[in-house]
Structure 1
């Protein structure tokens, strides 16, 4: 029907027709897949959810005399420093180590502060050598006083995920938040039908080099994400029935906005980071629109019992996102209230913001340089270690 180059020409002349994925779903109901495919050039998707497998690369700039940093803490959160003299990697889920009342802070909060331009304390020790005679450094850094500061996230944009419940007798604290005993609540993390990868189930419109909305700035897909599992079982509409594809992404954090990158903390579990991410899908065929027409009632997720401390936990079957978003599901005849960890409102805002950028000519599309592999199996580590304390 059209090419990415042709779409970009229309973007530059402000003549491209852009709809959010929710607008497309509504338009398809009113008209048809064929008509929408003829009229629309780009479809924007979005999500705003916790993505703990994220972090920031930071280059401090060298001191005088030089230092080879081997231990480093930013506002009490340890950063990895084993790959360059003044290069650091700050993980979003790394915990604060100072033991004070700020123990609910982590790497995601420090990253948010740096993006916001706030000062961050740095304490480090160095490996002394003839090249690097300095043995320690204490200073304050900010977004504007460091060379590079960019997000490099090994696993973002889960194509689907699980619904967490607790069939046990005590409250559990998980990466989905608190789960009440005796099926007291159910928590899900994916925004469902507006989520980017559920609208491109076989990853046909994206690939390595695809330009995306990342944290309020521009980012790029760099590789498959860790735990990428595209061989997950799928429904006839090609959406997976559980965790499936993931993506690794990169973007300049100096251009990001703290509204879209927020440190968060899950009680008695640990810190993480909420990130706004959006993917534009070029309408190159009717199939693109057909995939984007998928509705919440057509997408399911497994209800997983966290009270069983195993890698493979028992499930209570599958539920649709339409059921989840009603605020209550039924498990074994019992009504269970539901709540999302993702912000559905901000997920919608991501798609709207990306749409506006494209309409203003501020964001053009890119041709992928390679496809994301769709044949990756999941390889577990079946090794029994120390005993788990279940008290």
Structure 2
């Protein structure tokens, strides 16, 4: 067997991480469906959501003032870096008055030393009936530069909203079933189409708190130095859709 202990280098380069908000998922069809958002029960039997709400890094810096290329971060239990903007990076999404988008907006491409990572913060995942994935723990320190950054970093779950989408419909035309706060999602139920529906997170709040606590301690102990980005990330980019063209 090959293990990370017997090879010279092992790097993790992950091209899409730490989405700035993400839509929640439900299923209005009459059959169970298996998605990257987990198993969705028929007739809106459950709602699954991602993102750790107020602990999510890009929620605390909605316009990427302190996060850019070269920013030092917590990645999988060790130190890593922001390498580039992530795939499907779309900071041009509609936003609320607090600057936060209502659906997936910015994302990050990250790199770090896989040999130094811990299975406490990076793990394989299997989405039943869909495929394999990976849980990656990410933490980013947000320097408080001025009063504006204080307001952004003080955001609460009751002020962060996301859309619930019907995943039984193809991705480009999924209807929005409701707009809800993370406070409501994290309460365990939402009201959808007139009835209470259970919710479940794909992101672990316990692990998110552990990451924040660990990163805070590293900084306090002088083991982790804040770094200014060497270049900003795009703040107006939006991805293009690839059209499937038939041919012989």
Q: TM-score if structure 1 supplies the norm length? A: 0.62
Q: Match of 2:194? A: 333
Uncovered stretches (5+) of structure 1, i.e. residues with no partner: 1-139, 387-391
- Compare CA radii of gyration and give the structure with the larger one: 1
Cα displacement string for residues 123-179 of structure 1 (whole angstroms, at most 9, x for unaligned residues): xxxxxxxxxxxxxxxxx3221221210100111110010110000000000111110
1:227 to 64, 83, 88: 88
Q: Match of 1:286? A: 147
Please give the residue correspondences for 1:115-154 in structure 2 after superposition, counting only pairs within 5 Å.
140-154=1-15
Change in Cα spacing, 1:377 to 1:331, as seen in structure 2 (3 Å) is: same
Change in Cα spacing, 1:199 to 1:147, as seen in structure 2 (3 Å) is: same
- Conserved? CA contact 2:91–2:238, under 8 Å: yes
1:163 aligned onto 2:54 = no
Q: Match of 1:212? A: 73
2:169 to 302, 308, 320: 308
Runs of 4 or more above 3 Å deviation? none
Please give the residue correspondences for 1:54-203 in structure 2 after superposition, counting only pairs within 5 Å.
140-203=1-64
1:380 aligned onto 2:214 = no
In structure 1, the residue corresponding to 2:213 is in which secondary structure? helix
Quote the Cα distance in structure 2 between the aligned partners of 1:309 and 1:284: 42
Quote the Cα distance in structure 1 between the aligned partners of 2:246 and 2:10: 37
Please give the residue correspondences for 1:206-285 in structure 2 after superposition, counting only pairs within 5 Å.
206-285=67-146
Change in Cα spacing, 1:375 to 1:182, as seen in structure 2 (3 Å) is: same
Change in Cα spacing, 1:321 to 1:223, as seen in structure 2 (3 Å) is: same
In structure 2, the residue corresponding to 1:282 is in which secondary structure? coil
**Displacement after TM superposition at 1:312 (Å):** 2.4
Change in Cα spacing, 1:294 to 1:370, as seen in structure 2 (3 Å) is: same
Q: Match of 1:357? A: 218
2:184 to 316, 323, 338: 323
Uncovered stretches (5+) of structure 2, i.e. residues with no partner: none
**Displacement after TM superposition at 1:310 (Å):** 4.0
**Displacement after TM superposition at 1:382 (Å):** 3.0
Choose 314-323 or 265-274, whichever is displaced more: 314-323
Q: Match of 2:157? A: 296
- Conserved? CA contact 2:62–2:100, under 8 Å: yes
What is the Cα-based RMSD across aligned positions, in Å?
A: 1.3
Cα displacement string for residues 343-386 of structure 1 (whole angstroms, at most 9, x for unaligned residues): 01110110000001111111001111000011101211233669
Quote the Cα distance in structure 2 between the aligned partners of 1:217 and 1:154: 18
Count the aligned residue pairs: 247
Change in Cα spacing, 1:252 to 1:330, as seen in structure 2 (3 Å) is: same
- Conserved? CA contact 2:90–2:105, under 8 Å: yes
